[in-house]
Amino acid sequence: MRQQKALKTRKRMLIGAAAILSSVAVADAMADQTVRIGSVEPLTGGIAHLGKDNENGARLAIEEINAKGLTIGGQKITLQLDGQDDAADPRQATQVAQKLVDNKVAAVIGHLNSGTSIPASKIYSDAGILQISPSATNPTYTQQGFKTTYRVVATDAQQGPALAAYAQSKGIKSVAVVDDSTAYGQGLANEFEKKAKALGLKVTSHDATNDKAVDFRAILTKIKGENPDAIMYGGMDATGGPFAKQAKQLGLRAKIFSGDGVCTEQLSGLAGEAASNVVCSQAGAALEKMPGGAAFRAKYEKRFGQVIKFDAPFAYDAVYIIVDAMKRANSTDPAKILAAMPATNYSGVIGTTNFDAKGDLKHGVISLYGYKGGKKTFLDEVKM
């Protein structure tokens, strides 16, 4: 009799324990899963203001998604931004890329520069991790045969020719070319030069400087002797501003053309009155031309208390594109996210995003700007 009671008691205890374990298992299954999204850009150095703009765009998207709630595969997901600084340095970029792989990120937004995006892309490819750059424009980035590389902006193969064609349309017949020896600056300058020659423009010279230069007087004095109608500068605003300023100080009357690295709100402060002599392009639609541009501007400025530099909406949409792929894959597994990317058809702030087989936009846009009264002013748009 006592044995039977003991057996019954033990049976009840086992049933109770099983129930408790089952409850714990269910609770564990229902617990939030934290999914890391990497974000890499220069947060220190001469173009840190552009890097912070990219990071802010990604951060805003993640904050919104978490506030709304995200469920993938029946599990609640909390996104976590894993922000890293590559200082616009290729070597540091590869170190940071490996760190993100080790941190087990599901995907990466970045890098900002072509010169950092390209070397880092091999590391992400080897790890099978999706990389979406909101700003790298050198064509090589998506021409390496990697299945992991995507971008949400047009390329220099589109941007350079658009600038050259615009220059010709404004009566430019001769041009000197200068680049900062980076993958971005050199690539953009080369694409411009190729198209300029095809259009019959005379290229008087092509000189190289570097992305840390502050004194351009020797190159500009040489160019002054060539007397070109225009100068094409491939580089970033931190060097492009002083370049334009010194050209004006030396009395050059040539119009200065440049790409999206120079085309920022900061250029006026860096170039002073010489900014009014600059025409620049951006590898994407102007904010005021984007379907969700006005609403994005309002919430960005409310959240961060500053104006958008340029690439923030592209970084913002890149996060939503990753989440869209997660939803369609019904998984946060990097391999499954990657497999869902080719079928992307996402409508966001920048418009509808579709990718070709290389990871480039099917329909890129180039925007052209000038500077009037110290303010960046939209001039024209070229749809590719």
Judgement on whether residues 224 and 311 belong to the same structural domain of the protein: no
Residue 291, in any domain of the structure: yes
Residues 235 and 377 in one domain: yes
Residue 27 lies in a domain: no
Instruction: Give the model's confidence band at 31: pLDDT under 50 very low, under 70 low, under 90 confident, else very high.
Output: low
Q: How far apart are the first and last CA of the chain?
A: 88
Mean pLDDT of the 330-336 span = 98
Contacts (Cβ under 8 Å, ≥6 apart) of 310: 50, 53, 260, 263, 264, 282, 284, 287
- What was the pLDDT predicted at 383? 82
Supply the CATH number for residue 146's domain. 3.40.50.2300
Domain count, the chain: 2
pLDDT digits (tens, 9 = 90+) for 172-199: 999 999 999 999 999 999 999 999 999 9
pLDDT for the residue numbered 18? 47
In a domain, 139, yes or no: yes
Q: Are 56 and 22 in contact (CB under 8 A)?
A: no
pLDDT tens, residue by residue, 101-132: 999 999 999 999 999 999 999 999 999 999 99
Mean pLDDT of 209-219: 96
Task: Clarify whether residues 87 and 38 are in a common domain.
Answer: yes
Contact 177, 229 (CB under 8 A): no
Q: Same structural domain for residues 165 and 273?
A: yes
Looking at the fold, whether 183 and 259 belong to one and the same domain comes out as yes
DSSP code at position 355? B
Q: What is the DSSP letter of 335?
A: H
Express each pLDDT in 221-241 by its tens digit: 999 999 999 999 999 999 999
Same domain, 373 and 257: yes
Whether 166 and 247 map to the same domain: the answer is yes
Q: Is 21 within a domain?
A: no
Q: Are 263 and 376 in the same domain?
A: yes
- Asked whether residue 215 falls in the same domain as residue 259, the answer is yes
Domain of 257 in residue numbering reads as: 157-282+367-383
Query: Are both 261 and 323 inside the same structural domain?
Result: no
In a domain, 9, yes or no: no
For the cut 60, the answer to whether the pLDDT of residue 1 exceeds it is no
Report, in this order, helix, strand and coil percent for the chain, each rounded to 5. 50, 20, 30
In whole angstroms, what is the distance from residue 331 CA to residue 363 CA?
A: 28
Residue 104 in any domain: the answer is yes
Contact at 8 Å (CB) between 244 and 216?
A: no
Q: Is residue 293 part of a domain?
A: yes
What are the tens digits of pLDDT across the range 265-278? 899 999 999 999 99
Instruction: Please tell me the predicted confidence (pLDDT) of residue 21.
Output: 44
| Residue listed under structure tokens 């072509």 | 114
Nearest CA-CA partner of 225 in 200, 204, 211: 204
In a domain, 17, yes or no: no
- With b for 16 or more beta-carbon neighbours within 10 A and e for fewer, the 163-196 pattern comes to bbbbbbeeebeebbbbbbebbbbbbbbbbbbebb
Q: In the prediction, which pLDDT does 249 show?
A: 98
**Domain identity same for 262 and 320:** no
Reference 183, options 201, 163, 156; nearest CA is 156
Which H or E run includes 131? strand 130-133
Same domain, 174 and 321: no
Looking at residue 356, the DSSP 8-state letter turns out to be -
